[in-house]
Structure 1
Amino acid sequence: MRTIDKRVAPPAKLAASLVARAPTLTLAYGARCKSRFAAALDTGEEVGLVMPRGTILADGDVLVADDGALVRVIAAAESVLVVRARNALTLTRAAYHLGNRHTPVEIGIDYLKLEADSVLEEMLMRLGAQVERATLPFHPEAGAYGGGHRHGHDETFAEDYALAQQVFEQRHGHAHDDGHGHEHEHEHHHAHDHGHGHDHAHEHGHGHDRSHEGCDSCGHDHPHRH
């Protein structure tokens, strides 16, 4: 069995006729991420791939076997979700939530593409995106997934989604509160100034040893904030 252990970079330097005559190796995205595995060329020949660890093969890559023969990689058509939206904000939110899941995503000018996943499909539709199931080659962005990717059916999905939604809502709400929220806070903190000549609301964390001095003569409680 022949071993394939090198990738030509860049393949454009090779004569087009040589690349065109090379046997092909059709692989789905998951297989293109593996470094060592047995595969079959499209001719039916069994080969072994032994690539440097961390290699992610792409459609059109040209590989070299141990006997010097060339092999061309083809990205296999696989089950994917194609995500579009009526506006850029919705598509951006969809990309954010997928990124929060460390999901491999192919990014186009007006679409996102990811491996088919029913739970992620539901999430995207809830965000207002248009989701279409298709069978197409998958070319996700490289080098952005850290320790791997998670699908929507992972047990932490609901927690991650709820947290992401909460952060979005908090940031969205904060934008409307700016300009008057701090004003109310300052009015509240200085409410006692007019009656006693000093402020009984302690905001700066000075400790309990200073906060009760002289309070017995006032006849009422004073809030102590730390």
Structure 2
Amino acid sequence: MLIVETRCEPQAHHDEELVLPFDLRQKSRLRTRLASGEEVGLFLERGAVLRGGDYLKGNDGRVIKVVAAPETVLKVTCSSPIELIRAAYHLGNRHVPVEVGDGWLRLGADHVLADMLNGLGAEVTEEQAPFEPEAGAYGGGHKHHGEAHGGLIHLFGNNA
């Protein structure tokens, strides 16, 4: 079994891919399989979350790219920025992991939260997509790959 204990800087080339949903990318100790089917044991620093696009180094020197697996999520949109902010507030008040996008929110599938959001006037659709929620106020921040601005600037527009 391949053992992975360290992260590394992004590389121009990688040898393997590790495709995991968000709930497994939160684990610092995990026995799983690479996309090739090879068994791998992760022994990473506690409390760290793997993000799609992160790179790891195997104990044999191989470079492994982390890929956020598509999973069932809820995409939330609203007819106005204020309504979207209200939806984000209520999700945050419940400590729900949320991904912030340009005019939308994404969260793990949950029919109770979907009903709450619909009651707030939000449009909620189920989709299959990679889930990359915000790290939280104390998690060092999170910027989506290729994103020039923080997600909230898009909620408020250029007038903020």
Residue 96 of structure 1, CA deviation? 0.2
Corresponding residue for 2:53? 60
Q: How does 1:70-109 map to 2 (within 5 A)?
A: 70-109=63-102
Preserved contact between residue 37 and residue 50 of structure 1 (Cα < 8 Å): yes
TM-score normalised by structure 2 residue count: 0.84
CA distance in 2, matches of 1:69, 1:6: 11
CA distance in 2, matches of 1:3, 1:56: 18
Residue 144 of structure 1, CA deviation? 4.0
CA distance in 2, matches of 1:7, 1:145: 21
Residue 109 of structure 1, CA deviation? 1.6
CA distance in 1, matches of 2:7, 2:138: 22
Residue 145 of structure 1, CA deviation? 7.9
**C-alpha distance 109-89 of structure 1, shift in aligned 2 (>3 A):** same
Residue 143 of structure 1, CA deviation? 3.3
Corresponding residue for 2:145? none
Q: Please say if 1:2 is aligned against 2:13.
A: no
Q: Percentage identity across aligned positions?
A: 49
CA distance in 2, matches of 1:145, 1:103: 15
Residue 79 of structure 1, CA deviation? 0.5
- Taking only aligned residues, the RMSD between alpha carbons, in angstroms, comes to 1.3
TM-score normalised by structure 1 residue count: 0.60
Residue 8 of structure 1, CA deviation? 1.1
Gaps of 5+ in 1: 147-226
Corresponding residue for 2:107? 114
For these two proteins, the number of residue pairs brought into alignment is: 139
CA distance in 1, matches of 2:112, 2:138: 19
Preserved contact between residue 16 and residue 62 of structure 2 (Cα < 8 Å): no
SS of the residue corresponding to residue 53 of structure 2 reads coil
- Name the structure where helix makes up a greater proportion of residues: 1
Structure showing greater radius of gyration is 1
Residue 48 of structure 1, CA deviation? 0.2
Preserved contact between residue 104 and residue 145 of structure 1 (Cα < 8 Å): no
SS of the residue corresponding to residue 132 of structure 2 reads coil
Q: How does 1:10-159 map to 2 (within 5 A)?
A: 11=10, 14=11, 16=12, 18-19=13-14, 22-144=15-137
Deviations 1:138-193 (A, max 9, x none): 010013489xxxxxxxxxxxxxxxxxxxxxxxxxxxxxxxxxxxxxxxxxxxxxxx
**Larger relative contact order, structure 1 or 2 (CA cutoff 8 Å, min sep 6):** 2
CA distance in 1, matches of 2:134, 2:8: 20
Q: Which runs of 4+ in 1 moved over 3 A?
A: 143-146
Deviations 1:196-226 (A, max 9, x none): xxxxxxxxxxxxxxxxxxxxxxxxxxxxxxx
SS of the residue corresponding to residue 92 of structure 1 reads helix
